[in-house]
Structure formats: structure tokens, C-alpha cells
Structure 1
């Protein structure tokens, strides 16, 4: 049975509030479809080493975060990747997170499943 999912715009707003409540930062780089837009997260620890995660649905109807493997993790490659994805999918949301530690980022991703 497929469970109903939260609208993308509401989910993005909830992520921002959760991040900011802990003293970290979240910035919407690209707004997508408010109801069903795909979500791409760029996670950084204190402004360095950006990592991209994309939310994918699974066969059981739930969603999970998958790491996007890039050849290098510098800002230019990450920027080029999400901008290209945004052209391919105009409904895509891109949210950049800047957190205090890698453990905090991992915990957030686990909590957001």
C-alpha cells in the first residue's frame, strides 16, 4: 500500500525549520513544484565539502535519500550538477544545508526519511 506523502513545498519548509531550530542554515536555491516536485539536498559541513543527496521513492511507497556520486566535491561541480538537473526537471527543488558536523547531517538525513 502506498502511503500519502507530504507536499514538496511543505516538506521543504519543515526541513528549513528543523535545520534552523538547531542553529544551522538552510537555503532554497531553486523552487520546484509545490505539490510533487523532486527534492535535491546539498549538504555542507561549515561551508565545505558539499555532498548531494536526492530523494527517491522506493517500491514500497516510502522515500529515501540517495547519495549522488560525483567525481569531485568542489563547489563548481556541485553547482553545475544541480543547475543541469534543474533544466532537466523544472519541478525540482534544490535545498542547501550548512550544518555544524557530518554527524548532524547524517542524523538529519535519517530523520527525514
Structure 2
């Protein structure tokens, strides 16, 4: 099975547009490598309870988003510290924040973009 590989910049742009089309807000907190930078996503529901997600490869060659369990979910300061520390070791990293109306909408965006 063959999968299309989109650039990181394209994926971030697509997530922004999908989020905004559904009435949510999307903000690039940090731009990374345009072609192949990893993407961290900070997902929030109505401006609260942020959770970090990262794309991981699946056994079939596809990718899916998974929450990163840090013990700091819902803490904006700790979430920011985490992604800023990640950028020190990965300067190509993108960080995108999505703020949507419900957990269902966030899950739908993550599935649509996988």
C-alpha cells in the first residue's frame, strides 16, 4: 500500500483551515522545517485543558495522532515548557495550537488529518 507524503507545512496549513472551517481557532506557535519537521499539536476545548498530541507511525505505514501523557495535561505553563524544551533538541519541530468547541471536533480533526 502506498501513502502520499505531504510536507509538514502543508499538514499544518490543512489543520488550520479545517479547524477554522468548523468555527475553531488555530495558531502556529512555532514554525519548523517546511518539508519534514515533526509536528506537535496542542489541543484545547474552549480555551482550557490543553493536551499535547504527536503523530506516530502505525504498523501499516500510516500515521495517527496520540496524546503525550506528561502528567501536566490542562496546565498551560507546563505544556509550554514541554514544547519549548523539545524545540531545543529538535529545531525543525512545528507546534500548532487548536482550540475547538468539543472533544469530538478535536478527535474528528485528528482523524481527518492522519
- Give me the CA root mean square deviation: 1.2
Equivalent position SS for 2:92? coil
Give 1:71 shift.
1.1
Q: Structure 1 runs of 4+ off > 6 angstroms?
A: none
Equivalent position SS for 1:42? strand
Unaligned runs of 5+ in 2: none
Equivalent position SS for 1:28? strand
Q: TM-score, normalised by structure 1?
A: 0.93
Residue aligning to 1:82: 83
Unaligned runs of 5+ in 1: none
1:42 aligns with 2:42: yes
- Contact 2:56/2:63, CA 8 A, preserved across alignment: yes
Describe how 1:1-113 pairs up with structure 2 within 5 A: 3-73=3-73, 74-113=75-114
Equivalent position SS for 2:110? helix
Moved more, 25-34 or 71-80: 71-80
Could you give the per-residue CA deviations for residues 5-61 of structure 1, whole angstroms, max 9, x where no partner exists?
A: 100001111111111111100000000000000011000001100011001223432
- Contact 1:2/1:62, CA 8 A, preserved across alignment: no
Aligned residue pair count: 113
Q: TM-score, normalised by structure 2?
A: 0.93
Rounded to whole Å, the distance in 2 between the matches of 1:57 and 1:30 is 22
- Contact 2:11/2:113, CA 8 A, preserved across alignment: no
